[in-house]
Amino acid sequence: MSNFEIVTREDFSEVTYLLEVRHPLMARAARPGQFVIVMLHEAGERIPLTIADFDREAGTITLVVQAVGKTTREMQQACRRGTHLHALVGPMGVPSTTTHAKKVVCVGGGLGVAPIYPQARALKESDAYVIGVIGFRNKDLVFWEEKFKAICDELIICTDDGSAGIKGLVTEGIKQAVARHSDIDEVIAIGPPIMMKGCADTTRPFGIRTMVSLNPLMVDGTGMCGGCRVKIGEEVKFACVDGPDFDGHKVDFDDLMRRLKRFTKEERMALEHWEKGCRLQQQIDATAASPGGGSE
């Protein structure tokens, strides 16, 4: 049996869930901005997940996962407190650099809210003035509000429908922060590519340094497969070994978003095949549990 025990499971919504995994060595080595590669079982897919938090005293790392594909949905079903992951490799990637910035806006959208947290905490520990901007579709999807309030000097919550905080995208939160503070040194944004592109476009006219965390397709996590290559200005970089953090004003987001759609058909087929197997298993279990079920 693997030693990567899940010690905590928490569900934020129907599709978003948190896993706290015991791994003392990784917890001691982890830094904000890094990621891990996870395998649920021996025949499972290798998937990269950003480290959302780490507790060196407890010896755990925290992952926040969105069940959107075959593997993440399978994990949603299988991962419970007391179960184990088959493999957990990391920490990988270049840690986020804690600059000498005195005033920083940390932006997280959707699932990006989780990995922006350790960066905001590290900046606060380095005595920076931290403005948090976190965005969700609606109030029912909001999570970690109190955790952010504890480490941010200001916190702006944005929701698409205005049911919590201000109505609008996280770019509206950035605009509010810029309007209040003329001395912002840096913006750090994590979330869907279209969101990070919007953040970079918002800060470009002000000349504010903007760092983003990229999530291209990734297989081995060592730069050998080439799947995670991204265009940064005139250069080609590999997110797994050169990133995942890059200058948002130089990222070719259109190329990134095209590459993310490259295996859409295969991903859909894998999910449909898995869901069909789940339905078949449910029918078998229901038949076996019914009176007179099973064979003589």
Instruction: Kindly state the helix (H) or strand (E) to which residue 45 belongs, with its residue range.
Output: none
pLDDT band at 2 (very low <50, low <70, confident <90, very high): low
pLDDT 10s digits, 250-275 = 998 888 888 776 656 666 776 666 56
CA dihedral 23, 28, 30, 36 (to 10 degrees): -20
* Mean pLDDT, rounded, for 154-180: 93
For the whole model, what pTM was predicted?
A: 0.80
Rounded to 10°, the helix 253-260/193-203 angle is 170
Within 10 angstroms of residue 209's Cβ, the number of other Cβ atoms is 16
What pLDDT is recorded for position 274? Answer: 57
Question: Is the alpha carbon torsion for 59, 18, 244, 208 positive or negative?
Answer: negative
pLDDT at 95 over 50: yes
| Model pLDDT for residues 25-77, shown as the tens digit of each residue | 999 999 888 888 888 988 888 888 888 889 999 999 999 888 888 888 888 98
For the chain, which domains are there? 4-92 (2.40.30.10), 103-260 (3.40.50.80)
Per-residue pLDDT band for 222 (boundaries 50, 70, 90) equals low
Could you tell me the end-to-end alpha-carbon distance of the chain, in angstroms, rounded to an integer? 35
Are 182 and 203 spatial neighbours (Cβ–Cβ below 8 Å)? no
